[in-house]
Chain A
Amino acid sequence: MSDAGPTPGSQVDWRHDVFRILKEADVKHIVYVPDAGHSTAIRLADEDNAINSVVLTTEEEGIGYLAGAWLGGERGALLMQSSGVGNCINTLALQACTRFPLLMVVTMRGDWAEFNAWQNPMGQATEKALNLMGVLTWRADEPQDVAPLLHGAASMAFNGDAACALLLGQRLIGEKQWVK
């Protein structure tokens, strides 16, 4: 990149980049089902008085919420784990039929070095399922890719009334330590 972007490799703090890019995109609502990979963005959202930080009981609640916020003129983003994409499928019709900016950031499971094979079926189907429902997708596996890809996804969501998802690969997030 030729602009004053982050330096390559492990110096990049992609966890902070997620929140920074959402703020730069004028996001006022961050709605989520927690995942460890999103914990920094969730904490920063909770601490920011200009952000409505909303914990959901299930991911599809976030689609309705963001549709409503957009009716009222405000932007938001939905953070979830790949398993939550499965919960969203039918509700994605709301975006397809009304066309509002739906920006999603998805932390992957069942994707790389997964210990719990029960995560694999949904993890392996996540991107295809999103595409089947008309969601545009990008994948970040390197720290320096998170900021530019999220910026691009946000740009296309908010400039195109589109559903856009950035998938954060399991290799980026790191191997979960099951046995300490």
Chain B
Amino acid sequence: MGQVNETGALDRREVVQKLLAGRKDLLVVTGLGSPSYDVMAAGDHDNNYYLWAAMGSAAMVGLGLAAAKPDHSVLVITGDGEMLMGMGGLATIATRKPANLTIAILDNGHFGETGMQVSHAGLGVNLDRVAQACGFGWTREIRDMAGVDDLRGRLSSRDGVKLATIKVKAENPPRVLPPRDGVYVKNRFRAALGHAPL
């Protein structure tokens, strides 16, 4: 520890735009903070579920959704800080091996929402290697757009649980705020899948 990771060079908005281009029926869950803004900036969508709280929960929401909807591909887009708070969830997810779940961690090595304090990822913890040790079938550290493009191609394959850490620049682009009405977002998401509200 103490060894600061080399900061990423990728633009987070460009990364998310690329991942979601031509998304079809991809189901997307976002971790609170910048990843929610990044996904919103790429275009609001009925198949997006944005978290505004419950830090550490994004990957587990993705697991529950992937289990209930095995015929859909599920993508969790979150940050390194959010994933660190729910790191035990990687062990849980690995035991379930959901073939249709991919976790994309936008890793800037910092807590961007609270003043850019250095995170554990920034201090040398490699979340993709944690996932690999837990038993994820496919893990990568991505440092260029070719890697992002490769990941996008794998989102619809549904051939095993995947996790990528994508090394992005430590910067906060202008916030693009998704809806904060959680009941609205939930009901919209469910309705798009054919589930009526109560």
Interface residues of A (CB under 8 A from B): 28-29, 52, 54-58, 60-74, 76, 90-91, 93-94, 97-100, 159-161
Contacts and interface: CB of A to CB of B under 8 A. Distances in A.
B195 A61 contact: no
A68 B54 contact: no
Interface residues of B, number: 39
Contact of A66 (B29, B56, B64): B64
B70 to A, nearest CB: 9
- Most chain B CB within a 10 A radius of its CB, from A28, A66, A94, A161: A94
B190 A73 contact: yes
Majority SS at the chain B contact face: helix
Interface stretch (B15-23, B85-93, B150-158): B85-93
Interface of B: 29, 49, 51-69, 72, 86, 88-89, 91-92, 95-96, 182-183, 185-186, 189-190, 193-195, 198
Contacts of B91: 57
Contacts, number: 125
A72 B67 contact: yes
Given A61-B60, A65-B64, A161-B198, A54 B92 contact: yes
A65 B53 contact: no
A93 B53 contact: yes
Contacts of B62: 68
A52 B67 contact: yes
